[in-house]
Copies of this chain bind each other. A is one copy, B any other.
């Protein structure tokens, strides 16, 4: 029945344990969505998951531990960057996805960001997730270069992506401005114009001091 090559002398990750983990993580998301990151409490999660407080404390230690697990789980669902046929279209679509995730009520994304200030571990998990996503998105820039939309001169993909997406996060998360339906497109377009003007060309990296 079990694979004889894999000896499991110690850990016991299946059955009840796995079920408890699933219940608890579901409960965390539900609580986050319902009460925001503020209302996320060990007690509440345990109760909603139908599990004893002590269990949650033992396995996840604190709220930060719960969030790490949730964030890591979010990183495991596979996500593909948009592919619309043009850089501007791709960035706009990407920004629209971002805007939606930040604007939807309740926003798990915002709750995770807010909550990741609570715990160093959660912050690191969050950082890892974002690094992955931005790395995945670099293909947008590569495709644009192949299509000839950007000069063959290599472009700093990451900077371009940050420039395109940062205004959304800034407006919606930090400045808490009302969502602007045109913002995704305008931010994307701004980045494309800047790229066309050579703002992200790698050659610029060599200091041309002010």
The residues of A with any CB-CB pair to B shorter than 8 Å are 37-38, 88-89, 92, 113-114, 117-118, 123, 126-127, 130-131, 159, 162-163, 165-167, 169-171, 173-176, 182, 185-187, 189-191, 193-194, 196-200, 204-205, 207, 210
Contact = CB atoms under 8 A, between A and B. Distances in A.
B185 A210 contact: yes
A39 B191 CA distance: 39
A184 to B, nearest CB: 10
Contacts of A187: 163
25 contacts: A38-B118, A88-B210, A117-B117, A126-B176, A127-B175, A127-B176, A130-B175, A131-B175, A159-B167, A159-B186, A159-B190, A162-B167, A163-B163, A163-B167, A165-B170, A166-B167, A166-B169, A166-B171, A169-B169, A169-B170, A182-B205, A182-B207, A186-B199, A189-B199, A190-B199
Nearest to A207: B182
Given A113-B174, A167-B163, A190 B194 contact: yes
Nearest to A159: B186
A81 B194 CA distance: 24
Nearest to A170: B166
Q: Which of A182, A189, A194 has the most CB atoms of chain B within a 10 A radius of its CB?
A: A194
Q: Which of A37, A38, A126, A199 has the most CB atoms of chain B within a 10 A radius of its CB?
A: A199
